[in-house]
Amino acid sequence: MSLKLKAMTGLKKKLLLPDMSTTTTRNINNEIVEAFHQSKFDVAKEYRNKALAFFEKTGLPAVKQEEYRFTPIAKSLEKNFDWSVIQSKSAIESIEEFLIPNLDANILVFVNGKYSESHSTIISPESEVKIKTLNAAFKTDSEVFAPYFDKILNPESDPFAAMNSALWQDGLLIHVPANTHVSKPIFILHLNDAGNSQVISQTKILGILEKGSQLSVIEKFDSRGTHSVFHNFSEEWIVKEKSHLEYCKVQNDAGKSYQVANTIIHQSDNSLLNTFTLTLNGELVRNNLNIIIDGENCESHFYGLYLLNGNTLGDNHTVVDHKKPNSFSNEMYKGIMDGNSKGVFNGKIFVRPHAQKTNAFQSNRNILVSDSATVNTKPQLEIWADDVKCSHGCTSGQLDEEALFYLRSRGIAEPIAKAMLLYAFASEVLTPIKNETLKSYLDNLIAERLQKNF
């Protein structure tokens, strides 16, 4: 292997060649492996080596692979990134503009893949929630996370998860003790500044909600600058018995950003989960959201909205895996595609043998606004238990002509009527969000986007 790698330094010029097919001499997988060998890691060496071994076996997914059929991410990475340069400096001084106004929350900030203590503010007492960087936690709290780390989110489940497990630079451990309600939400800002040069960020979060605890998390992804950003993000959330997690993700990257986010949430008996994912911007965004319902009487709502324009490719792959009886899941994802954008949705519902009395519902609805926007959707049900109620529905279309006529017949001009209907279509997914400050912030983001563009 090392022999091949030595030849690589001379290959950068070939980057400019139009033909980037796998037969070219450049091998991005080898470059990533080499980047691993060039990096110095303090902690988690065993985990990293194991993950790397797996990554070496599979490499990045080709488009031929079913799970990445519409998302040519390996090509994008090959074309836009130089893996021999990983660290890059940020020029950003104030993070004010990236925050959610008036949100009373703990603020945790990553800049270019590194946790920034100076930008972060923790207001909740340690008795409510323990927040540590992963690098630190590895030295002091290994007994807390060892049972879960790289186990719930198995690096072998996805090549990007494997890459992240091998190469993560920084991360957080968030630990909520039993029977504790964390009164203030945790707001995590992932900021990537490619004003000076390209940025490759690989970060990781492990969150544990012990029995009977409650937490609200808001993650926001922003990027700036004219150079390319690749953010490979992994997170695991363990939601134990009778716990309650509110999870919200906002992807609003203004820069030339490529992002893969692997989020896995593991639920035990009587737990409650609400997730909301909003995707607005970026060159390419791929979300893998996996919910494992490994307990009885769980409730899981996951909502998503992708409002895409320009050349953005927004790809949401979700899995809800019912492993135990008597639980409920409800998924609703909606998309509006404008410009040359491309929406991809794949939603899997698994109901394992013995997971009787499961109720699982899924809906995916899409509207194509422009002539060159596309959508590829694949809802998927796999059921091995008979006493269940499962359904999925998906649609692709335009606005309802009847509704449009009704509005116009009341004197509302066509473009405004359309914007109203689009907004109504989109905002339905905000219903489950309970934090009013967050809700009105998201509501404004959506309204602004739809008024501006339609």
Partner 1 sequence: MSKGNQVLEEITSKEYEHGWNVNLEADEAPMGLNEGTVRFISAKKGEPEWLLEWRLKAFRLWEKMKEPTWPNVSYPAIDYQNIIYYSAPKKKATLNSLDEVDPELVKTFEKLGISITEQKRLTGVAVDAVIDSVSVATTFKEKLGELGIIFCSFSEAVKEHPELIKKYLGSVVPMNDNYFAALNSAVFSDGSFCYIPKGVRCPMELSTYFRINAANTGQFERTLIVADEGSYVSYLEGCTAPMRDENQLHAAVVELYTMKDAEIKYSTVQNWYPGDKNGKGGIYNFVTKRGLCFGDHSKISWTQVETGSAITWKYPSCVLKGDYSVGEFYSVAVTNNYQQADTGTKMIHIGKNTRSRIVSKGISAGKSQNSYRGQVHVLKRASNARNHSQCDSLLMGDQCGAHTFPYIDVENNSARIEHEATTSKIGEDQIFYCLQRGIDEEAAVALIVNGYAKEVLNQLPMEFAVEAQKLLALTLEGSVG
Partner 2 sequence: MLTIKNLHAKVGEKAILNGIDLKVNAGEVHAIMGPNGSGKSTLASVLAGREDFEVTNGEVDFLGKNLLELDPEDRAREGIFMAFQYPVEIPGVSTINFMKTALNQIREYRGQQALDAVSFLQLMKEKMKLVEINQSLLSRSLNEGFSGGEKKRNEIFQMAMLEPKLAILDETDSGLDIDALRIVANGVNKLRNKNNATIVVTHYQRLLDYIVPDYVHVLYNGKIVKSGSKELALELEAKGYDWIKKEVAVA
Does residue 416 belong to the site contacting partner 2 (CB under 8 A)? yes
Q: Largest Cα–Cα distance in the chain?
A: 73
Q: Which of 406, 434, 436, 444 touches partner 2 (CB under 8 A)?
A: 406
The answer to whether residue 402 forms part of the interface with partner 1 (CB under 8 A) is no
Q: Which does 377 bind (CB under 5 to 8 A by kind): partner 2, partner 1, none?
A: partner 1
The reply on whether position 394 binds partner 2 by CB under 8 A is no
Give the total residue count for the chain. Answer: 454
Measured at the CA of 372, the angle between CA 368 and CA 374, to 5 degrees, comes to 50
Q: What mask of x and - would describe binding to partner 2 in positions 231 to 250, judged by CB under 8 A? A: --------------------
Cα gap 152→147, rounded to integer Å: 9
Distance CA 252, CA 444 (A): 13
| Token pair of 360 as six digits | 């699982």
List 20, 390, 403, 404, residue binding partner 1 (CB under 8 A): 390
Quick check: 398 binds partner 2 (CB under 8 A)?
A: no
Number of residues near partner 2 (by CB under 8 A): 22
d(CA 80, CA 230): 9
**If you compute the radius of gyration of the chain from its CA atoms, what whole number of angstroms results?**
22
Select from partner 1, partner 2, none the partner in contact with residue 427, using the beta carbon and a kind-dependent cut-off of 5 to 8 Å. Answer: partner 2
- Shortest separation between residue 380's beta carbon and partner 2, angstroms: 25
Q: Which stretch binds partner 2 (CB under 8 A): 80-88, 237-245, 308-316, 410-418?
A: 410-418
Residue 319 binds to partner 1 (criterion: CB under 8 A): no
Nearer CB in complex with partner 2: 9/409: 409
Task: Based on the shown chain and the rule CB under 8 A, indicate whether residue 117 belongs to the binding site for partner 2.
Answer: no
Nearer to partner 1, 164 or 366 (CB): 366
Residue selected from 123, 353, 405, 436 as contacting partner 1 according to rule CB under 8 A: 353
User: Which residues lie below 8 Å from residue 181, measured CB to CB, with a gap of 6+?
Assistant: 128, 213, 214
C-alpha 436/C-alpha 451 separation (Å) is 22
- Measured CA to CA, the distance from residue 198 to residue 192 in angstroms comes to 9
The rounded distance, in Å, linking the Cα atoms of 163 and 413 is 51
The listed partner (partner 2, partner 1, none) that binds 411, CB under 5 to 8 Å by sort, is partner 2
Does 405 bind partner 2 (CB under 8 A)? Our answer is yes
Compute the least distance from the CB of residue 244 to partner 1, in Å.
Answer: 28
Under rule CB under 8 A, residue 405 binds partner 1: no
Q: With binding defined as CB under 8 A, does residue 404 bind partner 1?
A: no
| Closest to partner 2 by CB, 146 or 413 | 413
Tell me how far apart the alpha carbons of residues 373 and 313 are, in angstroms, rounded to a whole number: 10
CB neighbours of 149 closer than 8 A, spacing ≥ 6? Answer: 44, 47, 206, 236
Alpha carbon distance 86, 88 (integer Å) = 6
User: From the CB of 82, what's the least distance to partner 1, in Å?
Assistant: 34
Closest CA to 218 of 307, 327, 101, 314: 101
Of 368, 407, 419, 450, the residue at the interface with partner 1 (CB under 8 A) is 368
Q: Shortest gap between Cβ of 283 and partner 1 (angstroms)?
A: 20
376 binds partner 1 per the rule CB under 8 A: yes
408 binds, among partner 2, partner 1, none (CB under 5 to 8 A by kind): partner 2
**What does 10 interact with, of partner 2, partner 1, none (CB < 5 to 8 A by kind)?**
none
In the list 52, 375, 433, 446, the residue contacting partner 1 (rule: CB under 8 A) is 375
For 39, the token pair is 């990096």
Segment 41-100, which members bind partner 1 (CB under 8 A)? 66
Q: Decide: is 380 part of the binding site for partner 1 (CB under 8 A).
A: yes
**Any residues with CB less than 8 A from the CB of 297 and at least 6 apart, and which?**
269, 270, 326, 327
Binding-site partner at residue 390 among partner 1, partner 2, none, CB < 5 to 8 Å by type? partner 1
Among 386, 409, 410, 452, binds partner 1 (CB under 8 A): 386
Name beta bridge partners: 181. 214
Can you say how many angstroms the Cα of residue 260 is from the centroid of all Cα atoms in its chain?
A: 7
- Contact predicate 167/307, CB 8 Å: no
Using CB under 8 A, which of 427, 440, 451, 453 touches partner 2?
427
Cα dihedral 441, 282, 315, 355 in deg (nearest 10):
-40
Among 62, 125, 424, 434, binds partner 2 (CB under 8 A): 424
Among 196, 197, 297, 356, binds partner 1 (CB under 8 A): 356
Name the E strands within 226-298: 228-239, 244-252, 256-267, 272-281, 284-293
Residue whose C-alpha is closest to residue 214's, from 187, 188, 240: 240
Give residues in contact with partner 1 (CB under 8 A): 66, 353-354, 356, 366, 368-371, 373-398
Q: Where along the sequence are the contacts to partner 2 (CB under 8 A)? A: 400, 402-403, 405-414, 416-417, 420-421, 423-425, 427-428
